[in-house]
């Protein structure tokens, strides 16, 4: 009986333990599941946090507004889509750590509505192969280099080159390098650039597994500084000596200088005549000095027109594609750019870039230029007005924060605008921050740090939602091209009175070719293009009546 009692007692205890054990097992499983859920949620939150940071860094994927009146909402799905290869414009195969900006810059800018054509993408990949085969220190390069010691060329060469040399400020250099690259693509040449010490370490290499930098031991380097109008080795001089008839030249020289800067002469301008392009194809080495965006005139050369039409569907996006393909801030420059952005711009609902270029401070007093700037802001409603009757802004839950980046050599414009928004609240309660990365006072030529800062400021301006640039300014041209932005064009007055048109909106984001030859009559922008015209997309610039630029035909 005692044994039975013990057995019954043991059995009862087992009956009690069984549900307890089951409960513990279920509890453990639920605990593990909850931990897994929390971990998954943590990962998800981490991803969302990174997306939120990305969203702050880039309103290209979370905002699609150009002005405050446009809708700024976007879906979460859209905010996660970032095309780091820019529609195939950029190649793969780079060491990403060596140039962080190459694939990250798209995160900081508005999404571009201009997609490169499949033909352009294919052409760029073919060029990269050519550059890899013919680039510095290759067998083809060394073989073509030997021809420089000859007085004339014998037969054809595997590789032909165009060597770019610098002139004027960084904006001029970038637009002329982009022009030189397009000419190289059109003529099956390899572009090599002489950056010198003042541009060292500013840009990343644009082509994979090769370099576009001209080797230091290039034998003609000592001639670069003598590249001026009328140079005895220039193409213009050769034409002049042969009564403008290139057909009388029996053998092409191994190299020629091309002088295409703002002060080039009438013989140098003959480069743009179509009948002269055939002779240039026979010259292995073209040494170019330019500070101009001469791309619009390439569209006027009949032998290039068909190819250019296939490369660029949107004529106003030519520079937009070229500059984003070629120019990526080095890691040093990218550090300057991102630190400024994260400190001052990342949390703003809207970013406004204001670039002020004054060519003659005596002719354009600070007070007059400032009046022009404020007139622009007011007339175009780019920023809210201040309420001078109030000391404190009205409380509002839906305040918009706006960050203004002022890029100028001088501090006065920044200080005046900052003071205006500090001393008075805005009429609508918006919060305005005004920032200036640097003010160098004068443009320093031959200074590496000056160029590094300039490149950083150009890149920061390109990250704006709204951009105001100064007329005639290549600095502004580069910023609008990088950002894919049609700017408001600030006409800097030359005198004691502001102009009656403070800043009309540009119709095209293309740079202006400021000093073109006049072989072809270009109708003004007010004229409708002739239906039979072969170049309806080339018209005079908004900011320079003598210059020409590219437009999409429907914009005219």
**Is the pLDDT confidence value at 3 over 80?**
no
**End-to-end Cα spacing for the chain:** 111
- Residue of 52, 272, 364 whose CA lies nearest to 44: 52
Residue 228 pLDDT level (bands cut at 50, 70, 90): confident
pLDDT, position 442 = 64
pLDDT at 16 over 50: no
Q: What's the rounded mean pLDDT across residues 306-320?
A: 98
Task: Please tell me the predicted confidence (pLDDT) of residue 345.
Answer: 98
The pLDDT value recorded for residue 514 is 96
Instruction: State pLDDT tens for residues 470-493.
Output: 999 999 999 999 999 999 999 987
pLDDT band at 241 (very low <50, low <70, confident <90, very high): confident
- Look at residue 242 in the predicted model and tell me its pLDDT: 83
Average pLDDT score, the chain: 83
Region of residue 132 (left: phi > 0; alpha: psi -120 to 50; beta: else): alpha
Please give the pLDDT value at position 52: 38
pLDDT band, residue 315 (cuts 50/70/90): very high
Residue 28: pLDDT band with limits 50, 70, 90? low
Query: Is there a contact between 509 and 256 (Cβ–Cβ < 8 Å)?
Result: no
Residue 5, pLDDT > 90, answer no
User: Which residues, in sequence order, are CB contacts of 462 under 8 Å at separation 6+?
Assistant: 109, 353, 478, 479, 480, 481, 482, 483, 485
Q: pLDDT band at 196, cuts 50/70/90?
A: confident
**pLDDT tens digits, 493-517:** 777 777 777 799 999 999 999 999 9
220 in Cβ contact with 189 (< 8 Å): no
d(CA 168, CA 172): 6
Token pair in block for residue 516: 């073109």
Phi-psi region of 205 (alpha: psi -120 to 50; beta: other; left: phi over 0): beta
The reported pLDDT for the residue numbered 30 is: 53
Confidence of residue 203 (pLDDT cuts 50, 70, 90): very high
Phi and psi, residue 470, nearest 5°: -90, 145
| CA atoms within a 13 Å half-sphere pointing along the CA-CB vector of 273 | 15
Q: Please name the residues in contact with 84: beta carbons below 8 A apart, sequence gap of 6 or more.
A: 90, 103, 104, 106
Mean pLDDT of 337-355: 98
* Tens-place pLDDT, residues 414-453: 999 999 999 999 999 999 999 999 876 566 677 899 999 9
Please give the residue that has the higher pLDDT: either 183 or 81.
183
Question: What six digits make up the tokens of 514?
Answer: 């400021």
The pLDDT value recorded for residue 40 is 36
Q: How far is CA 103 from CA 60, 94, 109, 204, 325, in A?
A: 14, 10, 12, 12, 11
**Which pLDDT value is given to residue 24?**
55
Q: Residue 305: is its pLDDT beyond 60?
A: yes
Q: Higher-confidence residue: 140 or 53?
A: 140
Range in 259-273, 306-320, 390-404 the model is least confident about: 390-404
Residue 362: predicted pLDDT = 76
| pLDDT on residue 110 | 93
**Max Cα–Cα distance, the chain, nearest Å:** 135
Q: Which residues pair with 162 in a beta bridge?
A: 191, 286
**Per-residue pLDDT tens over the stretch 270-289:** 999 998 899 999 999 999 99
Position with higher pLDDT, 275 vs 2: 275
Average pLDDT over residues 79-94: 82
| Residue 103 banded pLDDT, cuts 50, 70, 90 | very high
Using 50, 70 and 90 to split pLDDT, how confident is the model at 27? Answer: low
pLDDT at 231: 80
* pTM, entire model: 0.84
What is the band of 61 on the pLDDT scale with cuts at 50, 70, 90?
Answer: very low
Contact in structure between 447 and 475 (CB atoms under 8 Å): no
Q: What are phi and psi of 158, to 5 degrees?
A: -65, -40
Q: Is 369 helix (H, G, I), strand (E, B) or coil?
A: helix
Contact 321, 312 (CB under 8 A): yes
Q: What is the pLDDT of residue 250?
A: 76
Residue 371 CA to residue 499 CA, distance in Å, equals 10
Cβ atoms of residues 461 and 343 within 8 Å: no
Number of H helices, E strands in the chain: 16, 11
What three-state secondary structure class fits 136? coil
Beta-strand ranges (E) seen in 357-498 are: 401-407, 431-435, 466-470, 488-490
**pLDDT (average), residues 264-269:** 92
């Amino acid at each position: 009986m005692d044994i039975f009692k013990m057995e019954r007692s043991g059995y009862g205890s087992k009956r009690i333990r069984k549900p307890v054990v089951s409960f513990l097992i279920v509890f453990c499983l639920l605990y593990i599941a909850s931990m897994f859920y929390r971990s998954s949620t943590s990962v998800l939150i981490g991803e969302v946090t990174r997306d939120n940071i990305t969203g702050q860094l880039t309103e290209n994927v979370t905002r699609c507004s150009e002005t405050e009146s446009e809708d700024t909402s976007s879906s979460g799905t859209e905010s996660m889509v970032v095309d780091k290869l820019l529609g195939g414009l950029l190649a793969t195969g780079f060491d990403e750590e060596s140039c962080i900006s190459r694939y990250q810059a798209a995160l900081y800018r508005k999404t571009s509505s201009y997609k490169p054509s499949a033909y352009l993408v294919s052409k760029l990949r073919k060029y990269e192969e050519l550059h890899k085969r013919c680039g510095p220190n290759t067998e083809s390069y060394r073989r073509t280099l030997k021809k420089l010691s000859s007085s004339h060329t014998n037969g054809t060469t595997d590789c032909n080159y165009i060597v770019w040399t610098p002139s004027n400020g960084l904006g001029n250099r970038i637009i002329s390098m982009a022009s030189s690259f397009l000419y190289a693509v059109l003529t099956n040449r390899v572009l090599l650039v002489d950056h010198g010490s003042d541009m060292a370490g500013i840009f990343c290499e644009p082509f994979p597994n090769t370099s576009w930098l001209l080797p230091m031991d290039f034998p003609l380097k000592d001639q670069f500084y003598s590249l001026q109008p009328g140079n005895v080795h220039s193409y213009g001089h050769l034409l002049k000596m042969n009564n403008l008839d290139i057909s009388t030249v029996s053998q092409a020289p191994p190299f020629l200088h091309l002088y295409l800067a703002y002060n080039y002469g009438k013989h140098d301008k003959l480069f743009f005549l179509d009948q002269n392009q055939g002779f240039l194809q026979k010259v292995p080495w073209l040494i170019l000095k330019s500070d101009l965006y001469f791309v619009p005139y390439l569209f006027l050369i009949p032998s290039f027109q068909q190819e250019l039409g296939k490369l660029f569907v949107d004529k106003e996006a030519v520079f937009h594609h070229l500059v984003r393909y070629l120019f990526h801030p080095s890691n040093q420059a990218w550090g300057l750019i991102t630190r400024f952005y994260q400190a001052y711009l990342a949390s703003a609902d809207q970013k406004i870039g204001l670039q002020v270029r004054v060519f003659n401070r005596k002719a354009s007093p600070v007070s007059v230029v400032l009046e022009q700037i404020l007139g622009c802001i007011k007339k175009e409603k780019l920023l809210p007005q201040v309420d001078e009757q109030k000391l404190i802004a009205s409380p509002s839950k839906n305040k918009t924060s706006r960050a203004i980046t002022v890029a100028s050599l001088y501090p006065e414009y920044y200080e005046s605008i900052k003071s205006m928004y500090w001393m008075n609240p805005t009429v609508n309660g918006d919060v305005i921050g005004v920032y200036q990365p640097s003010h160098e006072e004068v443009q320093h030529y031959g200074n590496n740090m000056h160029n590094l800062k300039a490149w950083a400021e150009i890149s920061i301006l390109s990250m704006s939602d709204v951009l105001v640039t100064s007329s005639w300014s290549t600095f502004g041209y580069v910023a609008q091209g990088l950002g894919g932005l049609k700017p408001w064009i600030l006409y800097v007055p030359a005198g004691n009175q502001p102009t009656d048109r403070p800043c009309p909106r540009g119709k095209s984001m293309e740079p202006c070719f400021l000093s073109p030859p006049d072989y072809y009559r270009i109708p003004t922008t007010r004229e409708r293009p002739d239906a039979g015209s072969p170049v309806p997309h080339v018209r005079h610039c908004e900011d320079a009546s003598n210059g020409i630029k590219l437009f999409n035909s429907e914009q005219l």
